[in-house]
Amino acid sequence: MEKFTTLTGIAAPLAMENIDTDMIIPKQFLKTIKRTGLGAGLFYEHRFDEQGEKITDFVLNRAPYNEAKILVTGGNFGCGSSREHAPWALLDFGIRCVIAPSFADIFHNNCFKNGILPITLSQEEVDRLMDDAERVANATLTVDLETQTITEASSEEGNGGSISFEIDPFNKQYLLEGHDDIALTLKREDKIEDFEAGQKQSQPWQWIGQTQEGET
Amino acid sequence: MSESRTLFDKIWTSHVVDRSKDGACLLYIDRHLVHEVTSPQAFEGLRDAGRTVWRADAVLAVPDHNVPTTDRAAGIDDPESRLQVDTLMQNCEEFGIRCFAMDDLRQGIVHIIGPEQGFTLPGMTIVCGDSHTSTHGAFGALAFGIGTSEVEHVLATQTLFQTPAKNMRITVDGELGPGVTAKDVILAIIGKIGTAGGTGHVIEYAGSAIAGLSMEERMTVCNMSIEAGARAGLIAPDETTFDYLSGRPLAPKGAVWEQAVAHWRTLPSDEGAHYHCEENLDAAEIAPQVSWGTSPEQVAPITGTVPNPAAQSNPAHREAIERALDYMGLAPGARLTEVAINHVFIGSCTNGRIEDLRAAAALAEGRKVAATITAMVVPGSGLVKEQAEEEGLDRVFLEAGFQWHEPGCSMCLAMNADKLEPKERCASTSNRNFEGRQGRGGRTHLMSPQMAVAAAVSGHLCDVREMA
């Protein structure tokens, strides 16, 4: 997984609440057996009409937002289906940071597994960044994970400041270091084996039931 | 610190393998369900890293999302769907995982077959790369959906790093009125707390109305916990749970069964256990529900009307309602019972079990699907289908004008050939009414199987209580 340290890029405003993962990546793109190439399907039904033509006024189809690296959006982002194709599609499109007042749990988890930083801010702070993003001249933000700050562009009309954000220390370290988390877990192999040995004693039905199939 | 613990607390603490210094827990996972859509990249990851599956006997796989529900002997037409299903079969063979193939009688929707086989047991931790894994919480198991990276992690290590959830209790007391089902209970709950109401929490459903539900009804309730934003749903195991599980193929037998039941009786939340938040509903006040919008929280009693966005003071909510009504093609203030439909879908992991089909058939018997409507019944598994056919339910449905299909996820998410055309309007027993969920431009109204039959017969959304 790619590390996340700092990111400077265009922030695209998508002011909508409860954006679900079906909307982020519709079902027809879930038939792939690969993780790559899903950017083409990102927000597909909003970016393309039924004939496959670009819907030119959708934010991610307009310059400079078609180059966005950051998405500023509404609450409960990523609700619904657990499909990791949603962060894969964002990543493949070039978006590595999503800023919203709240996130759905599974999507939030899936972001960290893919080097995407989901930032939760107050509604007022999101509104301010949404305002930045909507004014093209101010749409460039810099996100620094180590110092947990978002710096706004300092043009004349801009809000021109910085906003700090909170992040769970476990997830922060995870992104900063870009771990292979399976390798890390397997370092605790002995502990997993000890747990299993204990459970076989205390809850044998968890283990015996599996071998009974066909015996009855 | 209080000694009293919730059901969630008990399951959680009994599965902690290790704790990291920043508070995350390495949690042991007892059961892992796998399907074709969210697993291929996980198996590929294992292969690329030269890793094996930690505990193959804790995994059960089945193709369900992509499978055709008609003419299965002909195989899968769509080459991408076929590749995905074939890939699952190959991966299971390579890694030694039990898989119910498309032509196996036990094939079905992953969340239907786990309980059906007794693979799901109380007190377990259960995961699947699918958000409706919350279904298994009906057994008092901590069950939650995960992404594909986590699927790979569980396959490789049988564990997951997790931070503890908060406890939420929703108590439903009293008796449900005639025509009011478990589906109406959960839709009413989501309508009340909202689609982010449970975020960060595990919801424990409690109260006399919940205790009075059958296992299948409990599964309907827990299934849609994710639509309330919760990490999982839970219901305390009791005699209803044990009766359902006894004798299932993968459930323990004999003395070990007795030992298991004795342990399961210790799982319910202790008196005085702490919940971070609580909600209460009066069962008697719940009317049959239908969704009118594009989020499961946009739901109303069938006796109600489509809301008027102009009456909303919060601009974000107003815009959300306007957007939903535009997509759904509904006018503010319209009576819900006047909304005409052209499609009916009965099935899914929410309402594709035998009791759902019995209830739907009982209402369909002697009636006819309106001429303007295409109505389909998709059993949740091959065993549900077989049972229904033994009871003659298939004939009831066919005589009433419903189509009778092979089992699978079908039009719940329209990954196979079963889908709506743009602007088609569907009375659906599934769990999501998102834009495009049942086909691009398709319009979904969520409801119970009984309400779906009432809609099929009358041609419009209809209060099942008025069908004498």
Q: What is the arithmetic mean of pLDDT over B84-106? A: 97
Tokens of B263: 């342990």
Does the beta carbon of A120 lie under 8 angstroms from any beta carbon of chain B?
Answer: no
B159 to chain A: which residues are within 8 Å by CB?
185, 192
End-to-end CA distance of chain B: 55
Q: What is the arithmetic mean of pLDDT over A85-96? A: 98
The position carrying tokens 């929703």 is: B170
Q: Which residues contact A149 (CB under 8 A, 6 or more apart)?
A: A143, A162, A163, A164, A165
Residues 22-61 of chain A whose Cβ lies under 8 A from any Cβ of chain B: 22-23, 26-28, 30-35, 45, 50
Give B177's DSSP letter. P
The 3 state secondary structure assigned to B10-60 is: HHHHCCEEEECCCCCEEEECCEEEECCCCCHHHHHHHHHHCCCCCCHHHEE
CB neighbourhood size of B133 (10 A): 31
Residue B336 or A170, more confident: B336
Mean residue pLDDT across chain B: 97
B267, A193, B258, B381 alpha-carbon torsion, rounded to 10°: 80
**A205 to chain B, closest Cα gap in Å:** 6
Q: Across the interface, do B229 and A105 touch by the CB < 8 Å criterion?
A: yes
Nearest residue of A to residue B422 by CA position? A50
Q: What is the arithmetic mean of pLDDT over B299-316? A: 95
| Cβ B348 vs Cβ B379: under 8 Å | no
SS3 label, residue B464: helix
Tokens of B331: 């006018």
A185 to chain B: which residues are within 8 Å by CB?
26, 153, 156-157, 159, 161
Q: Is the pLDDT of residue A185 over 70?
A: yes
Q: Is the pLDDT of residue A212 over 70?
A: no
Phi, psi of A155 (to 5 degrees): -80, 175
Nearest residue of A to residue B435 by CA position? A23
Task: Say what the pLDDT of residue B2 is.
Answer: 53
Q: Which residues contact A187 (CB under 8 A, 6 or more apart)?
A: none
Q: Is the pLDDT of residue A158 over 70?
A: no
Q: What is the arithmetic mean of pLDDT over B449-460? A: 98
How many percent of chain B have pLDDT more than 90? 96
Q: Across the interface, do A209 and B121 touch by the CB < 8 Å criterion?
A: yes
What is the distance between the alpha carbons of residues B351 and A132, in angstroms, rounded to a whole number?
46
Q: Is the pLDDT of residue A210 over 60?
A: no
Task: Say what the pLDDT of residue B316 is.
Answer: 85
The 3 state secondary structure assigned to A16-53 is: CCCCEHHHHCCHHHHHCCCCCCHHHHCCHHHHECCCCC
Q: What is the arithmetic mean of pLDDT over B160-181? A: 97
Task: Say what the pLDDT of residue A179 is.
Answer: 80
Task: Say what the pLDDT of residue B468 is.
Answer: 65
| Cβ A161 vs Cβ A152: under 8 Å | yes
Q: Across the interface, do B26 and A173 touch by the CB < 8 Å criterion?
A: no
Residues 409-448 of chain B whose Cβ lies under 8 A from any Cβ of chain A: 413-415, 422, 432, 434-437, 440-441
Nearest to A109 among B78, B147, B297 (CB): B147
Q: Across the interface, do B26 and A22 touch by the CB < 8 Å criterion?
A: no
Beta-ladder partners of B345: B376, B428
Does the beta carbon of A124 lie under 8 angstroms from any beta carbon of chain B?
Answer: no
Tokens of B447: 């409801």
Q: Across the interface, do A192 and B415 touch by the CB < 8 Å criterion?
A: no
Beta-ladder partners of A100: A120
| Cβ B428 vs Cβ B289: under 8 Å | no
A178 to chain B: which residues are within 8 Å by CB?
none
Angle between helices B148-157 and B40-49 (to 10 degrees): 50
| Cβ B350 vs Cβ B440: under 8 Å | no
Q: Across the interface, do A210 and B58 touch by the CB < 8 Å criterion?
A: yes
Q: Across the interface, do A31 and B157 touch by the CB < 8 Å criterion?
A: no
Task: Say what the pLDDT of residue A215 is.
Answer: 40
A181 to chain B: which residues are within 8 Å by CB?
153, 161
Tokens of B433: 């009414």
From the list B277, B269, B196, the residue with the least C-alpha distance to B237 is: B269
pLDDT tens for residues A62-84? 999 999 999 999 999 999 999 99
The model carries a pTM of 0.97
How many percent of chain B have pLDDT more than 70? 99
| Cβ B454 vs Cβ B462: under 8 Å | yes
Q: Is the pLDDT of residue A213 over 70?
A: no
Q: What is the arithmetic mean of pLDDT over B302-306? A: 98
**B295 to chain A, closest Cα gap in Å:** 8
What is the distance between the alpha carbons of residues A106 and B350, in angstroms, rounded to a whole number?
19
Q: Which residues contact B79 (CB under 8 A, 6 or more apart)?
A: none
Q: Is the pLDDT of residue B1 over 80?
A: no
Interface test with A, best of B77, B423, B434, B446 (most A CBs within 10 A): B434
Phi, psi of A41 (to 5 degrees): -100, 0
Tokens of B372: 């303007």
| Cβ B65 vs Cβ B408: under 8 Å | yes
What is the distance between the alpha carbons of residues B385 and B394, in angstroms, rounded to a whole number?
8
pLDDT tens for residues B270-298? 999 999 999 999 999 999 999 999 999 99
Residue B3 binned pLDDT confidence (cut-offs 50, 70, 90)? confident
B30 to chain A: which residues are within 8 Å by CB?
206
Cis peptide before A204 (omega within 30 of 0): no
| Cβ B237 vs Cβ B10: under 8 Å | no
Nearest to A18 among B152, B195, B256 (CB): B195
Tokens of A58: 């959708």
Interface test with A, best of B32, B76, B86, B199 (most A CBs within 10 A): B199
How many percent of chain A have pLDDT more than 90? 86
Q: Report CA-CA distances (Å) from A72 to A134, A196, B318, B414.
A: 10, 44, 20, 30
Query: What are the start-end ranges of the E strands in B378-447?
Result: 403-404, 425-428, 443-446
Task: Say what the pLDDT of residue A214 is.
Answer: 40
Q: Which long-range contacts (CB under 8 A, 24 or more apart) does B133-136 make?
A: B133/B33, B133/B232, B134/B222, B134/B223, B134/B224, B134/B225, B134/B226, B134/B230, B134/B232, B134/B233, B135/B111, B135/B219, B135/B222, B135/B223, B135/B349, B136/B111, B136/B219, B136/B222
| Cβ B333 vs Cβ B264: under 8 Å | no
pLDDT tens for residues B377-401? 999 999 999 999 999 999 999 999 9
- Sheet with B16-19, strands from edge to edge, namely B16-19, B25-28, B159-162
Nearest residue of A to residue B431 by CA position? A80
A104 to chain B: which residues are within 8 Å by CB?
196, 199, 229
β-pairing, A140-144 vs A149-152, is antiparallel
Interface test with B, best of A79, A126, A166 (most B CBs within 10 A): A79
List helix spans (H) across A27-161: 44-47, 85-93, 105-112, 123-134
Residues 156-195 of chain A whose Cβ lies under 8 A from any Cβ of chain B: 168-170, 173, 180-182, 185-186, 188, 191-192, 195
Q: Across the interface, do A82 and B145 touch by the CB < 8 Å criterion?
A: yes
Does the beta carbon of B150 lie under 8 angstroms from any beta carbon of chain A?
Answer: yes
Does the beta carbon of B226 lie under 8 angstroms from any beta carbon of chain A?
Answer: yes
Q: How many CB pairs under 8 A join A and B?
A: 201
Task: Say what the pLDDT of residue A159 is.
Answer: 63
Nearest to B66 among A31, A79, A106 (CB): A31
pLDDT tens for residues B8-62? 999 999 999 999 888 899 999 999 999 999 999 999 999 999 999 999 999 999 9
Q: Is the pLDDT of residue A211 over 60?
A: no
Beta-ladder partners of B280: B171
What is the distance between the alpha carbons of residues A83 and A85, in angstroms, rounded to a whole number?
5
| Cβ B350 vs Cβ B325: under 8 Å | no
Task: Say what the pLDDT of residue A180 is.
Answer: 86
Residue A48 binned pLDDT confidence (cut-offs 50, 70, 90)? very high
Q: Across the interface, do B80 and A31 touch by the CB < 8 Å criterion?
A: yes
| Cβ B181 vs Cβ B208: under 8 Å | no
**B1 to chain A, closest Cα gap in Å:** 24
B149 to chain A: which residues are within 8 Å by CB?
84, 110, 113-114
Give B421's DSSP letter. P
pLDDT tens for residues B401-451? 999 999 999 999 999 889 999 999 999 999 999 999 999 999 999 999 999
Q: Is the pLDDT of residue B368 over 70?
A: yes
